[in-house]
Every structure is written in C-alpha cells, then in structure tokens.
Amino acid sequence: MVQARIKWLDALKLFAIFLVLWGHAVQHLLSSEYWDEPVYRIIYSFHMPLFMTISGFLGAKLFSIPVTSVLRRKFRQLLLPSISFGLIYCIIAICVGNSGGGFSFFIHSFWFLKSLFLCSIIYCIASKVPKHTLFAIVLSLIISQAMPYYGFDRMYPCFIFGVALYKYFDYFQKNIRVMLAVSASIFIVMLVKFDASFLKGFNSDAIKSFDLMEIGRYLYVRYYRILIGFAGSMTFIALFYSLSRWIPNSKLGDTLCKCGKYTLGIYLLQTFFLEMILRDCLSCDGLSFCIFQFIVAPLISSCVLIICLVCIKIIHCSPIASWLLLGESFPKGE
C-alpha cells in the first residue's frame, strides 16, 4: 500500500506540473487576455490548490519535527532555490536592459514556494500547541486570511485540507467512489460560474475606502476560489488514487512516475524556457482555438517538460548545484 501510494502521488504531481506548463503556455504565447481563455480558467481553478493540498498531505507529519529543524529544512528546500534562481533571472533581466523588471521578478517570483514555506512553518508552530492543537490550527487559518502575500490566504486552507486528508486517509480509502462522485459534481458545477472575473485583480482603492459592495465581492471571489480549489483537488486526488492499480508496473510507468519527483526543479526551470525565451520568440495568435489549446500548447508543454528534466539531470552532476538550485541535501547531510 505504501509503494502504491507513493507511485500514484508521483503520477499526480507529474500531472499537476504539466498543467502548470500548459497554463503558462496559454498565458504567455497568446497576446489575448489569458483569463478569457476557457482552458486557462479550468487549469487555474484548481492546479495550484492541488499542489498545496498534496504538500499538506505529505507535510502532515511536520507536527512531530522540531520547529527549528523544519525551518532549516524548508529554507533549504524552498527558499534557497527561489533565491538562487531569482538572482540568476534578475541578472539576466538586467543584462538585457530590464533592471526594474529584474528586481520585481526577484521579489515576486516563485510565489508558490514562498507560500509553501509559510504554510509549513505556520502549521508546524500551530501543531505544537499542547492540548489545544485543533484550536491553534483553526486560529492559524483565521489569521491566514489577513495575509494575502504570495497567495498565502488562499493556499494555507488548501495545505490544511491536505493535512486533514492525510489524517483521515482510511475514511477516504473506504469511501473513494463517493468522494470522487461528490467532489467531481461540485467541481463541475462550480466551473460553470468560474469566469474571467475570478482571475482579475481587484480595485484596492475601493476596498480601502470600505466600499461594502466591493468588499463583499472580494470575499465572495476569494472563498469561491478556495472552495473550487478544494473540489478540484479532491476530484483529481480521488481519481488518481482510484486509478493507481492501473499505473503500469513497467520501466516506462516507473520512469513517468519518477518524473513527478522533480516538480520543484521543473517549476523553477520552466520560467526561463517558457516564460522568458518562448514568450519573446514565439507567438501563436494565428492558430485556431482548438489547434493551439489542445495540440500546440500541450506539445510545447511536453517539450519544455523534457528539457527541464534534462537540465535537472545535468544539475544533479554537481552536489553544490543540486543544493543551491534544487534545495537538495548537501553531500554530508543537513
């Protein structure tokens, strides 16, 4: 059961990172407003909440690790690669004459890794409160709603959702078909109303002026996105778990699942290949909707995925590079 669980999680992570590439291809290779593209909206309704739910599922045992150890480990695994790649991309931007963009990129880039770092630390601290752990976690959820930085207000509930899924995994297994049917139904229904307005920014001046209508709209959109993220995450977690027996016990199947272990490196490297090079060198505006969305974009995403995996293999040739760029353990251990 343990081996099967790891395998289906790796397959799910590979699926999720492919969605990241597909969504970024739609976003950066068309000049139209990307939030008007239905494929983009479907992907962005759940793919990052899915990643954070998986992270919470895998990080549920952080409660048993000292906070200082979690802080060191998560800094190495998440923040160090963000800083390293941020500096590299910042230098590249400055060299091509975009110094302002370079600094802005360094501050705001790789927001998911920074959000995951915050989620891991806050959860670890809350889980250490003796006799009142549940209260502390609920309080941390409430506090998170006042912290919009790096999407923490939307991602932390997904992380805790993953923790809860881990703690009640036996119930999840026994009721897998019901969970899949219910979550998929809710997800599809919520997708019907998930239009471009859910992905656009808000008028911060209206919120600061205590415009009740605008504040109500802001809260509605925030919690709608959280709930659709829950529904989408549960749908695909239940689907991949249900299909885990069909993952082939072959070299190809094992290789594909193994690729899911390198999602962090793919996430970091795709920024250079897809969001920088291809964005400036390739335009797909002349292609029809179906040809681009369902043939060209997935094909480009697959090519970028393969290139990233090759680069990760090259980085692995150097223990220091693996430590700096991929957050892996230093040869002598932590």
Enter the pTM of the model. Answer: 0.91
76 lies in which domain range? 48-167
In a domain, 142, yes or no: yes
Q: What digits encode the pLDDT tens for the residues 232-275?
A: 999 999 999 998 877 666 676 777 778 889 999 999 999 999 98
d(CA 84, CA 334) in angstroms, rounded, equals: 18
Contacts of 137 (CB under 8 A, 6+ apart): 123, 126, 127, 160
Same domain, 290 and 265: yes
Give the residue from 216, 218, 225 showing the smallest Cα distance to 202: 218
Q: Which of 104, 138, 167 is the last residue of a domain?
A: 167
- pLDDT tens for residues 156-203? 999 999 999 999 999 999 999 999 999 999 999 999 999 998 988 665
Q: How many domains does the chain have?
A: 2
Last residue in a domain, options 167, 197, 222: 167
Shared-domain flag, residues 54 and 158: yes
Q: Which amino acid is at 191?
A: L
Residue 204 has pLDDT above 70, yes or no: no
Helix (H) or strand (E) holding 225: helix 212-242
Asked whether residue 210 is domain-assigned, the answer is no
Give the tens place of pLDDT for each residue, 69-82.
999 999 999 999 99
